[in-house]
Structure 1
Amino acid sequence: MIKQISVTFGSQGILEQIMKKYPERHMALFAAASNAHGMQLVDYSGDESIFTSPVVYQVNAHAGNDDWEHYINYTEISPSKDQRQILDAKVSNFMSDPDTPAGMTGFYYLTAEGNSDSRILLSLWKQQYDYMQWEKSPQHNFISYQTFKNDFTANYHEIGYQRFHPKA
C-alpha cells in the first residue's frame, strides 16, 4: 500500500510539463467536474512529493484497485474528536464490506499532512454518474453532508474531478 498521495494545482500547460519531466512517476491529470474550474495533478506513486507547492495526504487505509482513469471524488471533513472516532469506525466498516457501490473501483481514507484531525475520503469511479447514484443511496449516509450539517466545526467540503488525457 502506498503511504502518501501528493496533489498540485495549476494550468494545463504547467501540469503537463511536470508529467513530461517525471515520466517514471504514477501521475494523473484531472479537470474539475462541476462548476469549479482548474486542474489538478495527482501523484499516486507513494514517493516523496516532487511538487513545489504540494498538498500531501497520508494514506491511512485503502480498498479496491488503483484505477485513476476516470472520475475521482474528495470528501473532506474536520469533525470533532467524538465524530472522528465514529467516522473512523464507519469508514472501516464500509471499506471491509464486500458489497461495494456500482462503479467504484477504489477508496482511500486519508489525512492531510499537518492536520491529523482532518479526514479525507478519496473515491475512484468508472464515471461521475456512478458516484452520483451512490450519493443518493443509504450506503453513502455515513459521509453525507446531512450527517455533519449540524456540527458547525465539521468544515465539510466535497469536489469531483474528471480524468483529463493530454494530447500526445
Structure 2
Amino acid sequence: MSGKISATFGTRKILTMIQQQNADRDLLLMQANATEDRYMLLDLTGEETVFSSPVTYDVLLSKGTADWHGMTSFIFIDLPVEEQKVFNSKFSSFRHDYNKPDGLKHFWILRKSKNDAAFVIVTNWHSDSEYAVWLRSESFKPFAKYMNSDYGYHESRYSFVRSLKS
C-alpha cells in the first residue's frame, strides 16, 4: 500500500476508458450505493496520478487486507487543529488495540493532501449489515463523536465494480 491515493469521479463509460488507457496501474472502479450513475475511480499506485482532476489523500493508517470487494464506506470529517490531536490519539490507540470487527476487511485513515483539516475514515466490509453492527459497537465509539455537522460529517458508500489488476 502506497502513502497516497487519488480519486476522480464521473460516468462509468469515461472512468472505464481511463482505466483501460492506464491498464498498467492499479485503478479501481467503484459505484456509489446511493445512485446508479455515480462512479469513482481510485488510483492506489502512490505515483503521480493520471487523473486530470484528482482528489488526493495521504494514507495515515492502513490495517487489513487490500481486498476492495464488498461495501466500502468513506466517512468525511473536518477537524480543527486542536481536535486533530485528539483524533490522532484515538486512531493511534485503535491501531495498537486493533480488534478487527466481524466482516471488516480493511480500515484506513486518510487526510486530504491540500487540506490538513479534511480526514476520511475508509472501511471495507463483506456486507452492509456487518458495517451497521460496527457503527453500534464499542470499537466504533472513539469515532462516533465526529458523526455530526460540527465536524462537517458526511458519508458515501461504494461497491467494487472492477479492476484490471484483480
Tell me if structure 2 keeps the 8 A contact 1:95–1:107.
Answer: no
Partner residue of 2:51?
51
Partner residue of 2:160?
163
Tell me if structure 1 keeps the 8 A contact 2:12–2:37.
Answer: no
**Alignment RMSD:** 1.9
Q: Quote the offset at 1:84 in angstroms.
A: 1.3
Instruction: Give the letter for the 1:63 counterpart.
Output: K
Give the Cα–Cα distance (whole angstroms) in 2 for the partners of residues 149 and 103 of structure 1.
21
- Gap runs ≥5 in structure 2: none
Q: Quote the offset at 1:108 in angstroms.
A: 1.3
Instruction: Give the letter for the 2:88 counterpart.
Output: D
Moved >4 Å (runs of 4+) = none
TM (norm. structure 2) is: 0.89
Is the alpha carbon distance of 1:149 and 1:131 closer, same or farther for their aligned partners in structure 2, counting shifts above 3 Å? closer
Q: Deviations over 1:29-58 (max 9, x none)?
A: 111113585111111122111101111111
Q: Quote the offset at 1:79 in angstroms.
A: 1.6
Query: What SS is found at the alignment partner of 1:159?
Result: strand
Give the Cα–Cα distance (whole angstroms) in 2 for the partners of residues 41 and 6 of structure 1.
8
Tell me if structure 2 keeps the 8 A contact 1:29–1:39.
Answer: yes
Partner residue of 2:72?
72
Partner residue of 1:3?
3
Identical amino acids, percent of aligned pairs: 27
Partner residue of 1:113?
113
TM (norm. structure 1) is: 0.88
The alignment covers a number of residue pairs equal to 163
